[in-house]
Amino acid sequence: MFVSVEELVSRLEQAGYYLGWEAATVVYLAWHMKKPLLVEGPAGVGKTELAKMLAQVSRRELIRLQCYEGLDESKALYEWDYQKQLLWIQANLRDELNWAQAKSVLYTEEFLLERPLLKALTAGKETVLLIDELDKSEEEFESFLLETLSEYQVTIPEYGTIKANSIPTIIITSNNAREFSEALRRRCFHLYLDYPSPEMELTIIRRKVPGIEERLGREVVSFVQLLRKQNLRKAPSIAEAVDWAQALVNLQAETLKKDLVQHTLMLLVKYREDYQKIVGKLDYLLTSGAN
């Protein structure tokens, strides 16, 4: 457990994750009050990494549910082991069991396959449950989640209601592909993560790329921050900025030069149209970043 916001910030920083004081306060309160935390923001700002780091520094198991279009209960909550059920039926046919007798055996814990949501609720100790990119799933699945988020339980028609053995810390992430219902938002604490300030991003790069020269580090941050303002199809993430900085160090760069930037630009921009847009204005961007 974290005894204060200060301790939470400190332990995350020791693990290499930097969180502002305001954001850390929301995370701390959600953690202690056992409220689901909805984390929204652009792709690449560290929403998923926040859940991973919280699990790491608290020494809890991370259980991850990756959301996608078409996700349903059988992939998120539970599924019956139909093959095992069939084997049991075949083995007991000679006993001429009626359906009521068979049902009392077939729909028991022995035949229940736990998926991430159920696994988090039935775990013997507290876990961190990451429901990643919930905005990629349909509204029907979002509605299905409400029982878990508000009561920390799930209801399986053939089995009954299963309450949490220990309440997990639930982190829900979203890239804002669609709006969530008021019902879901009402059940969660909310946190919006944005790209870091230049000072914070420089701190991250210094920590992740310890061999980088001060001048190069500042130029990298200035250039990346300018790129994020260019209306790209995909803006560079924090992790991509770190990878680019490491690549420049590996190439023994001391400062940003046009040819070097152009030759390594695909580490930052991942679509051809973005690449062409940026190459066409490299002189302007490098000059602006130097000022």
pLDDT, averaged across the chain: 92
**264 touches 282 (CB < 8 A):** no
For residues 18-49, b (16+ Cβ closer than 10 Å) or e, as one string? bbeeebbebbbebbeeebbbbbbbbebbbbbb
pTM of the predicted protein model? 0.87
pLDDT digits (tens, 9 = 90+) for 215-254: 999 999 999 999 999 999 999 999 999 999 999 999 999 9
Q: Quick one: average pLDDT of 271-288?
A: 91
288 pLDDT tier (thresholds 50, 70, 90): confident
What is the reported pLDDT for 97? 66
Q: 42 pLDDT exceeds 70?
A: yes
Phi and psi at 177, nearest 5°, equal -70, -25
Q: 291 pLDDT exceeds 60?
A: no
Q: 41 pLDDT exceeds 70?
A: yes
What is the reported pLDDT for 237? 95
CA 172 from chain center: how many Å?
7
pLDDT digits (tens, 9 = 90+) for 71-121: 988 889 888 888 888 888 877 766 666 677 777 788 888 888 889 999 999
Full DSSP string of 126-149: --EEEEETGGGS-HHHHHHHHHHH
pLDDT digits (tens, 9 = 90+) for 143-161: 989 988 989 998 888 888 8
* Residues in a beta bridge with 114: 78
